[in-house]
Homo-oligomer: A and B are copies of this chain.
Amino acid sequence: MKILLVEDEAALRTALLASLKQAGYLAEAAADYAQAHEKIMLYQYDCILLDLTLPDGSGLDLLRALKAGGSPTGVLIITARDALDDKIAGLDLGADDYLIKPFHLSELNARVRAIIRRRQFNGQQQIVFRDLLVLPELAEVHVRGELITLTRKEYDLLLYLLANPGRVLTKEAIAEHLCGDAVDAADSFDFIYTHLKNLRKKLQEKGADNYIRTMYGVGYKLSHE
C-alpha cells in the first residue's frame, strides 16, 4: 500500500511518516506543492494525505490536478481548524475524508485504513484466483485450502499481481510498487527475481503451478490456465 504524505511542516511530516511506516504502509513524503505535484504525476498512490496550506501553492490545486487525471487515488485532507471553506471545497473536488489539525495518530490511522479498505478490491472480504484464496483482512493466503505464510514483500507482490490479473507487469513497475521512490532508474531490479522465486516456490510447494507466467523481455503476469 503506497501512501504519499504532503505536509510542509518538517516535524509533523517526519512524525507522520514514521507512524505510517510503522503501520506497515509504504509511505513517502513531499514537503511542498512542487515536490508533491512531481510525485503525483510520476507514481501511483493508493492514498494521499494532503495538507491544504503549502508554501508554494494550494493543496486544492493538487487535488484538482489529480482528479482531472482521473486518478483512483484516495485522498485524505489534513487542514487547520479555521479553513472550513477549503474543507468543503476539498470534498466537492473528490476528497474522501478530512481531518482537522491537531489530530491524533490513531485517528489518522483509522481514516487511512478506512479509505484503503474501501478501495482495495472494492472492500472484498476474499479474493479467489484458481486454487488461491486470499483473505486481506487476516493477511492470510490459502492454496488448495492450506494456509501458507508469506513474507511481507511476497504478500505485496502477490496482491499486486492479483490486482492486475492477466495484465503484464514489468520489473520496474513491480519494483516501484514494492519499494516506492526508494528505487532509481539506475538501480538493478534483480531482487525482484528473488521475491518472485520465493513466491513461486511457496505456491508450487502446495501444488499450484504456473500461476505467474514470464513474458520474456517484458515482465510477468498471472495466467488463467
Contacts and interface: CB of A to CB of B under 8 A. Distances in A.
A135 to B, nearest CB: 9
Contacts of A41: 107
A24 interface: yes
A139 B218 contact: yes
Interface in A10-55: 15-16, 18-19, 22-24, 41-43
Of A105, A167, A173, A219, chain B has the most CB atoms within 10 Å of the CB of A105
A23 B109 contact: no
A141 to B, nearest CB: 12
Interface residues on A, range: 35 or more
A217 B106 contact: no
A182 to B, nearest CB: 11
B166 A15 contact: no
B107 A170 contact: no
A68 interface: no
Interface stretch (A87-95, A123-131, A183-191, A202-210): A183-191
B15 A183 contact: no
A172 B19 contact: yes
A217 B26 CA distance: 12
A96 interface: no
B42 A172 contact: no
Task: Across the A-B interface, give the 9 residue pairs with the lowest CB-CB distance, nearest first.
Answer: A15-B185, A106-B176, A42-B107, A138-B166, A152-B217, A105-B185, A139-B168, A24-B218, A19-B185
19 contacts: A18-B185, A19-B172, A22-B171, A22-B172, A24-B217, A24-B219, A42-B103, A42-B106, A42-B110, A43-B106, A105-B172, A105-B184, A106-B173, A109-B172, A138-B167, A139-B218, A140-B166, A152-B216, A152-B217
